[in-house]
Amino acid sequence: MLRSFNFIISAMALALLVSCSDSSDSAIQTTAPLRESAATDSIAAVSPPVSSGCIDAANISYLCGIINGEDILQLGTSPWLVVSGMNGELSNNLTINGKIHLVNSAERSFSVLFPGANPVLEQNMELFAGCPGPLDISNFSSHGLALQTQEGAPERYRLYMTSHGAREAVEVFEIDGYVQPTIKWIGCVPMPATSWTNSLVILGDGGFFATQFMDPTGSGMAGVTAGEITGHVFEWHPGGEVTVLAGTQLSGPNGIVMTDDERYLFVAAFGTHAVARFDLSSTPATKEMVDLGIAPDNIRWSNDGTLYTAGGNVTATCAGPNCGTGWSVFEIVPYTMTASRLTGVDETAAMQGVSSAVLVNDEIWIGTYSGDRLGILPKP
């Protein structure tokens, strides 16, 4: 990826889930069936009815059954996708706990990667001595994700995850992606109690930058919707404390990515419908913005070295994201900070509340913070 040029909601996850049934979609059955591994802890008991391989008038196909799949990452160039699963309430008043899903993008199938039937929790005390103990697998939310390939082992990854529930923390895992991926929890970094941490990016030393979307003890989501400054970027390095990166204050800081030389950060400003580029070569960081006209959520690099972001369309009468106005995927050129709309759907599509757009080969995979499916669109 050409990333260096010398110089990316828990309350929302409680929203009503849209059914994935054919009656709501006027769907056409396809030949790609939905399969969930019987060896994993099935979500069938708490999920709404699902259908396999649906497609609606917006020409978007679905992988149904993944609840609140907020973020999506690809393991290298393999067909495997790691998908988060935020906790929340379903329309039948049942609750669902956090999960990390494993999707086979070629077969259109998925299973629960974590916690699964036999979760492995082995704390790395050398790297994460400040972690107070194992993740509470009965009370967590799998939110923003970041992957780092391990040096000398291209099939092994560190997975960092922002999480809410029993504690506000960045939870850390190791994934062995050889053949059939496996996962184990290895530690955490506790985050401030006044933070609702959203997305993150991993640094070369194993540290991270992470976005504080809002302060849940302050103006909360109302402040984000009003365009108020509600958060910033956190910085953490192994052995150190969590600090605030000077000059990174935004309204609803959300998705975050970084250039390979660690000079430039790109951060979605959900509340003001823009993406910021921060130049970290100066202190405080300098900022340049590009307006999008959507409420941008996660940001991801494409294979062409551009940035993809997705979010609910913003209109004169709706500041988004839950107005039923449809959504768009934008592509941003990082060199020039120019943006163009790639694709999207209108309010008639069954999938709304989007949060991720990830390019996998010639398909754009779409995540949601409040729904029961992933979307798949052809790359224009």
Residue 191: is its pLDDT beyond 90? Answer: yes
What is the model's pLDDT at position 95?
84
Highest mean pLDDT among 26-30, 33-37, 139-143: 139-143
* Arithmetic mean of pLDDT over the chain: 85
What is the model's pLDDT at position 31?
24
What is the model's pLDDT at position 217?
85
- For residue range 107-159, list pLDDT tens digits in order: 999 999 999 999 999 999 999 999 999 999 999 999 999 999 998 888 899 99
What is the model's pLDDT at position 13?
37
Average confidence (pLDDT) over 280-305: 95
CA distance 367 to 358: 9
Average confidence (pLDDT) over 218-223: 89
The percent of residues above 90 in pLDDT, for the chain, comes to: 71
What is the model's pLDDT at position 348?
85
Average confidence (pLDDT) over 333-345: 96
Fold observed for domain 10-378: Neuraminidase (2.120.10)
Residue 373: is its pLDDT beyond 60? Answer: yes
- pTM comes to 0.86
Average confidence (pLDDT) over 29-52: 31
Half-sphere exposure of residue 322: CA atoms within 13 angstroms, side-chain side: 15
User: pLDDT confidence of 241, banded at 50, 70, 90?
Assistant: very high
Tokens found for residue 200: 């993150």
Contact of 356 with 374, CB cutoff 8 Å = no
Residue 271: is its pLDDT beyond 50? Answer: yes
Contacts of 14 (CB under 8 A, 6+ apart): 88, 89, 370
What is the model's pLDDT at position 30?
24
Average confidence (pLDDT) over 285-293: 96
Average confidence (pLDDT) over 175-183: 93
The percent of residues above 70 in pLDDT, for the chain, comes to: 82
User: pLDDT confidence of 319, banded at 50, 70, 90?
Assistant: low
